[in-house]
């Protein structure tokens, strides 16, 4: 079938998995992959908007009401992220546009990364690596390197006990950690102590791991009060979204020694990272890549391709997002 006769899928980002996805499904779909330096309006000059019924986007692409208005025939938004905070779900509901996300595909990989960040910042692994790489380190006694903190036996508070949070808890239990949590609702299926307040949770914990979805209720849920409640020996790990933490207050508390350290995979204004964080030895940083594994990428390609096939064949989607008012 000629490319122009294939169903059109607008690709924004593009997602990191797109280079793998495109050759696998280019015989079934005509992917419109605009140059990152060009605008969506520019693309629409070459492809009639009414011919585009599906959109594929990455987590760093805003699918706002303005974007949706440019696509009057759009009936599907696929995101390669577990979160949907970059999509105007209210407008999608009004327009009866279906939305599907990655669901739990990344849960295990993100949980692995969360524990790695926590272990790294507490045991100062990256700091020790930098120490050995500095000039003349051999002229200094190694036993003067600053002490780390043990992870085993620590009280870890999980902010958001969803699929990722549960995987984090499972891994930390093997370290002998005591798990506590806060979530939208108390989970009847778990025995971990539940706290309705993040401040109360922080007061009782040695570390917090943020892995909940970002929405109006969770925006900056970890604020200065929470950080101070965690205390000078406490640690924060964020593998959810940057907006879950008041980043300016976190930087300030780190600089003032009000908290022990942080492991951050996400930031409020990506790809911008506060320069103060780059200078701190008690902070471990990664570029929003907790979900990036070869295995997850292949699984994601299968999910996205399967959802596109289902949509254009009028079959139910996998991991569809429930659009509520």
Q: Are 160 and 180 in contact (CB under 8 A)?
A: no
Instruction: Choose from 27-36, 121-130, 315-324 the range with maximum mean pLDDT.
Output: 121-130
pLDDT at 124 over 80: yes
Do 186 and 195 contact (CB within 8 A), yes or no?
no
Query: Tokens 């980043």, residue?
Result: 247
Active site residue 270: yes
Backbone angles phi, psi at 246, to 5 degrees: -75, 95
Share of the chain above pLDDT 90, in %: 81
Residue whose C-alpha is closest to residue 229's, from 202, 261, 262, 256: 202
pLDDT at 146: 81
Q: Identify the CA nearest to 156 among candidates 229, 208, 212, 86.
A: 208
* Whether residue 14 has a cis bond before it, omega within 30° of 0: yes
When comparing pLDDT for 145 and 215, which is higher? 215
Q: How high does pLDDT run on average in the chain?
A: 92
Catalytic residue, from 137, 270, 272, 315: name it: 270
Mean pLDDT of 240-260: 97
Residue 60's pLDDT is 85
Q: Is 288 a catalytic residue?
A: yes
- pLDDT of residue 295 exceeding 80, the answer is yes
> 224 an active-site residue?
no
Specify the residue for token string 């609702």: 185
Q: Which run of H or of E encompasses 112?
A: helix 107-123
- Structure-model confidence comparison of residues 190 and 137, the more confident one: 190
Query: According to the model, what pLDDT value does residue 3 have?
Result: 64
Local structure of 76: helix, strand or coil: strand
Instruction: Tell the burial category of 171 from Cβ atoms under 10 Å away from its Cβ (0-12, 13-18, 19+).
Output: middle
Residue 13 has a pLDDT of 84
**77 within 8 A of 35, measured Cβ to Cβ:** no
Set 30, 86, 249, 288: catalytic member: 288
Name the active-site residue from 86, 108, 241, 268.
241
Q: What is the DSSP letter of 242?
A: G
How many C-beta atoms surround the C-beta of residue 116 within 10 A? 19
Residue 156 pLDDT: 98
């Amino acid at each position: 079938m000629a490319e122009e006769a294939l169903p059109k899928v607008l690709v924004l980002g593009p997602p990191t998995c797109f280079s793998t996805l495109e050759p696998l499904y280019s015989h079934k779909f005509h992917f419109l992959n605009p140059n990152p330096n060009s605008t969506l309006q520019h693309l629409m000059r070459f492809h009639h908007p009414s011919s585009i019924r599906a959109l594929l986007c990455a987590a760093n692409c805003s699918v706002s009401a303005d974007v949706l208005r440019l696509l009057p025939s759009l009936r599907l938004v696929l995101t390669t992220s577990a979160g949907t905070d970059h999509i105007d779900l209210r407008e999608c509901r009004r327009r009866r546009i279906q939305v599907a996300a990655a669901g739990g595909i990344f849960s295990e990989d993100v949980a692995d990364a969360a524990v790695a960040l926590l272990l790294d910042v507490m045991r100062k692994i990256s700091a020790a690596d930098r120490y050995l790489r500095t000039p003349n380190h051999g002229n200094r006694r190694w036993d003067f390197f600053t002490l780390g903190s043990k992870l085993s036996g620590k009280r870890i508070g999980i902010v958001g006990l969803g699929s990722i949070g549960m995987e984090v808890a499972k891994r930390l239990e093997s370290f002998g950690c005591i798990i506590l949590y806060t979530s939208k609702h108390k989970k009847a299926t778990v025995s971990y102590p539940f706290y309705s307040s993040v401040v109360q949770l922080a007061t009782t914990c040695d570390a917090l791991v943020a892995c909940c979805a970002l929405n109006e209720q969770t925006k900056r849920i970890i604020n200065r009060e929470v950080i101070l409640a965690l205390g000078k020996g406490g640690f924060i790990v964020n593998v959810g979204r940057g907006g879950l933490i008041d980043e300016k207050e976190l930087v300030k508390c780190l600089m003032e020694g009000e908290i022990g350290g942080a492991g951050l995979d996400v930031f409020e204004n990506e790809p911008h990272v506060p320069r103060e964080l780059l200078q701190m030895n008690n902070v471990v940083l990664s570029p929003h890549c907790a979900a990036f594994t070869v295995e997850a990428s292949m699984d994601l390609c299968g999910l996205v391709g399967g959802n596109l096939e289902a949509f254009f064949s009028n079959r139910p989607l996998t991991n569809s997002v429930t659009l509520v008012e």
